[in-house]
Structure 1
Amino acid sequence: MTSSEDLHKRRVAAVARGVGSTIASYVDHAAGGTLTDLEGREWIDFASGIAVTTVGNAAPRVVAAVREQVERFTHTCFMVAPYESYVSVCEQLITLTPGGFEKRAALFNSGAEAVENAVKIARHATGRPAVVVFDHAYHGRTNLTMALTAKNMPYKHRFGPFAPEVYRAPMSYPLRDGGLDGAEAARKAIDVIEKQVGAGNVAAVLIEPIQGEGGFVVPAPGFLPAIAAWTAEAGAVFIADEIQTGFCRTGQWFASEHEGLEPDLITTAKGMGGGLPIAGVVGRAELMDAVHVGGLGGTYGGNPVACAAALAAIETMRELDLAASARHIEAKLKAALSDISDDGIAEIRGRGAMIAIELVQPGTIEPDPVRTAAVSKACHEAGLLTLTCGTYGNVLRFLPPLVISDEDLDRGVAILRAALR
């Protein structure tokens, strides 16, 4: 039988060095809240494939739907020969996303592709060029989305030049912006936009309701509504990037709901597909329909197998009430983390099953990326799969599948406690 060591040798000879992996072991199978490697070693999964396997790996309803669709047909390209499941996924997006206005949706392959298309739609509908994004933001790895992303290494380093007409405003980061409340932080951001860009030039304001790669930063209450209100007054498009936060991850179907937001456009991917690649843009009908016929699409966008998986994943989320499960996970994780006595933990934050701790030098808010990496490595060695993030590389993020058992959550926290020590 192939071992992880043997497979790693093959990988070194075949896979480009620029593609990294968090752990050196190779997965054999996975289910619920655990992964098992080729040697039979089990890992508690606090990563979910970066917030993808929300309904668990190999979720029964998803597996059955994919198997049935594969037997019927695997691809026609919706732009060539359309099919019902694409329409059904768009209908689900329209129903589930916040906003009582008339909506339309379109499907794509990845989160970055969804973001690019949302920007295209906003520029086309407004006739304006500028896109405003925020400090610590992450929006993808394509040329345009690298421009939208804040962090240089590893995402942007030596990959430029990047797409123009992208402008960055300060984000509400309660731990690091001097304690500004939401209204004050919004005024600071708006002042930058008005001075450096000009309201009349802004096509879109693009923001993650809770930042992902940037460090699971939850903006101060009132920040997002104030930014959305200014965007509307400026005649621009407010785009919520819900690629990591969407589909029950934060305890609501979409994180925008926590502050009563009704974004003009929402981008989604990750947890939407139950493990298969699919993404979408959904929003106001007058914006989505502004683009000429043929202006949106792509060969694989809304692939029928991925659509079948998405419909099954959504039904699983409804049936199991996974938004409630996310709130339960939040309560358990925050309580357990709060009991850890550690002067290096500056903040425990997040919503639902999107929780993080930021590690600093004790007595300061100076980031401690070295310890963060060491703690994460110790977790991996003990059988807990964790991820780091943050502009400063000093945040441990926890993204368990929403079907994880309480027993596995408790086991994971115990490993984390030991790793911190």
Structure 2
Amino acid sequence: MALTEINFDGIVGPSHNYAGLSLGNLAATAHAGNVSSPRAAALQGIAKMRANKALGLVQGFFLPLPRPNARYLTHLAADAATDRGLIAGAWSASSMWTANAATVSPAPDTADGKCHLTVANLVTMPHRAHEWPDTLRQLQVAFSDKAHFAVHDPVPPSFGDEGAANHMRLTAGHGQPGLEVFVYGRSGGRFPARQHEQASRIVARQHRLDPERVLFIEQNPDAIAAGAFHNDVVSVANERVLFTHEQAFADPAAAYEAIRARFPAVEIVEVPASAVSLEEAIRTYLFNAQLLSLPEGEMALVIPTEADESSAVRGWLDRMLASNGPIRRVIPVDVKQSMANGGGPACLRLRVVADPATVDPRFLLDDEKADRIERVIARHWPEQIDPADLGSPSLEKTVQDARSHLLDALDLAKLAGSESA
């Protein structure tokens, strides 16, 4: 079985809007009330997928979830005139950020030799907490081969779990056993800490990981307070490389020592605050990048154009490249619509190490399928959405019809209905 890393990007849904629902996500709240461009956002996402595929990488995708979530609104007894925040939550297209879909442990790390996926409960934010039933159903279809995958229900909602956005893996190669690093936060600061330590420990046990190859590290509360609502806003890992901001962890020296003790081959590329401030790292999403192993053996960092346009960030990246370190290429990508809602290139993808032949092929991208998806988006996705229009019957029909056309185009009509309560 040929194990490889597959990046599953979320197709930006037709209800993509800027309602500003995510407390602690500075970009999302800063753009609250702005008019969004769902069609442009979705096409930007497909272009990113095409670019990664052109690098020789295996690319997958997940579908937008059913929106608006009528069952969710019924359950809340929401009033369209007065409960505008609840209405917006039911329309949220936040499932596009598939880094929050689940936590994934590849087969080489697990006791039963299967790839384990635990869907995230996302309980900290109401607009996301109703995602998991539909996400779970999609994961169960995409990874239905029970000989190779185990897909788990979420951990109990008393323990906040945000999925792979707070999980990293270090390994000599994607198909080899690795060290899984779970990063958690502690409550009490300016913004809520979304990843609970016990949620991480439950996932590790559920995935049957070797305790000697697992670490639990606390996120720096100053980073959370500065707007790093997930660890992947300040740190990212790939194979032997940990690319991190100096202020990512509560105790960086202890974190590095613990990582080196269990994975001595690690190469830590630390960006000092004196070169790129924590605030600038968060504003530009330097670390919310895709750190990728290219087929020719080099590592590339796919960054948002906002990072490339920052003089501080670009200056540091140029010095890094000149130093002949482990990251040899920097590739800017335009995901401005996603960035304005608080999600960069890494937010848009879930990494799954598996044999592509074991994945439902309907979820794997090729050029013809990308063409098909783009045609549906160009024809059916709304050009713009004003948050004030959420709840409109005509917009609701447009959004639902758009998703239905996509499901039909991909032979996935079985996912048409919602499982959310």
TM-score of the pair, normalised by structure 2 = 0.28
CA radius of gyration, larger in: 1
